[in-house]
Amino acid sequence: MATARFTPLARSDLKEIRDFISRDKPGVASQYMAVLKQRCELLANSPGLGIQRYEYCSLYKFPVDSYLIFYRPSRTGIDVIRILHGSRAS
């Protein structure tokens, strides 16, 4: 089974997303974290699902609602580089 490894920046992004959602909807925050992590597991098993971004050192991106997961395929799955809101990812 392939794995999704999170960089320190990606872990920080997840914490920021959780904290932001928790301000208005505390119960939804943990559910949304589970959705993001499930999508990362899906990408680890099928890294070609994302869109390759050559201008960013061959990173791939994959949308989840208004967020974008930026990742790099590896031999054992993917390395999640960042998870950013679409308005911050440009």
User: What are the structural domains, with CATH classification, of the chain?
Assistant: 3-88 (3.30.2310.20)
- The mean pLDDT of the chain is 92
Q: Is the pLDDT of residue 87 over 70?
A: yes
Tokens of 35: 């959705």
Residue 40: CB atoms within 10 A of its CB come to 23
Greatest pairwise CA separation for the chain in angstroms:
39
What SS3 class is residue 75?
coil
Q: Which amino acid does the sequence have at 31?
A: Q
b/e sequence 58-84, b meaning 16+ C-beta within 10 Å: ebbbbebeebbbbbbbeeebbbbbbbb
Predicted pLDDT of residue 70: 96
Name the more confident of 18 and 88: 18
pTM for this predicted structure: 0.90
The pLDDT of 78-85, averaged and rounded, is: 96
Enumerate the β-bridge partners of residue 64. Answer: 67
7-49: per-residue pLDDT in tens?
999 999 999 999 999 999 988 999 999 999 999 999 999 999 9
